[in-house]
Amino acid sequence: MYIKTFKQISKEDVAEVGGKGASLGEMTQAGIPVPPGFVVTAKTYRQFVNNELPVDVIEEILQAFNGLETERVAVRSSAIAEDSKTASWAGQLESYLNVTRADLIENIRKCWNSIRSERVLSYTAGQNLSEDQLVVAVVVQKMVESEVSGVMFTQNPVTKNDGEIMIEAGFGLGEYLVQGMITPDNFVADKNTLKIKSIDIQTQERMLIFKDGENKEVQLSNENGSKQALTYQQVQKLADLGKVIESHYGYPQDIEWALEKGNFYILQARPITA
């Protein structure tokens, strides 16, 4: 077996599927709404990073893709020493969106190669990680056509208040928000009552969407860009989901989420790091 589906993965599998993969499997098992997917394991990386992939391995990966019943997936690196409480790999490794079946194997190898990039080697040197620890699994996950996306912290990252949940939300796919290319709406909710304590609505001038087979930037009119990205009810529903995730793990979480056709999906959750 060179892959594991999310339904086969728990947090105990971190050595084989990395922090990201283990978290997605753990949340899937817990009934949290995670888009379906699978992980190409660390064993596969170790065996084939410097060799051609055999036909049977390629077939196993493509069969798993077929099982997702989708045309496009997100392909994300999941480092084996990743997402501990002391080191956050956020932004260090490569991710590829809207990958088709035809391009899947190529993008998996791109993720493998990203662990040896100058940026990653510099980061790991600062974390006192050895060369042997530079191993990567690859998450393959059904794409969510997000109308709104963002991040959520189950402890206020600004004030360190453990009784508050902070949500940042923007229109379109989440990459612009994560990369700091837009200023998102900001909501702070009381963790116990879910009452919204503060709101800061920003005007968004552009968003990233998937159209005609690729990611495209779309300009937003002032009227559309100045609208609130989430309703108050949606903020409270999302904050409640954040509470469930934090309760499951037992410590504050940094969560990536997406809203598609009125439903929230959790794309990633990791411990909040200093």
pLDDT of residue 126: 64
pLDDT of residue 83: 43
Q: Which residues of 38-51 are buried (b: 16+ CB within 10 A; e: fewer)?
A: bbbbbebbeebeee
Rounded CA separation 178/181 (Å): 8
Give the 3-state secondary structure of residue 20.
helix
The segments of the chain whose pLDDT lies below 50 read: 82-88
pLDDT of residue 120: 66
Give the 3-state secondary structure of residue 58.
helix
CB 19 within 8 A of CB 66: no
pLDDT of residue 87: 45
The backbone region for 129, taken as left when phi is positive above 0, alpha when psi lies in -120 to 50, beta otherwise, is beta
pLDDT of residue 131: 61
Domains of the chain listed by start with CATH number = 3-142 (3.30.1490.20), 148-271 (3.30.470.20)
- What is the value of pTM for the model shown? 0.85
pLDDT of residue 129: 67
pLDDT of residue 274: 62
Bridge partners of residue 79, in order along the sequence:
136
pLDDT of residue 246: 97
For the chain, the residue count is 274
pLDDT of residue 86: 41
Helix residue ranges per DSSP H, the chain: 14-29, 42-48, 55-67, 104-114, 118-126, 175-178, 222-225, 232-249
Phi, psi of 40 (to 5 degrees): -80, 115
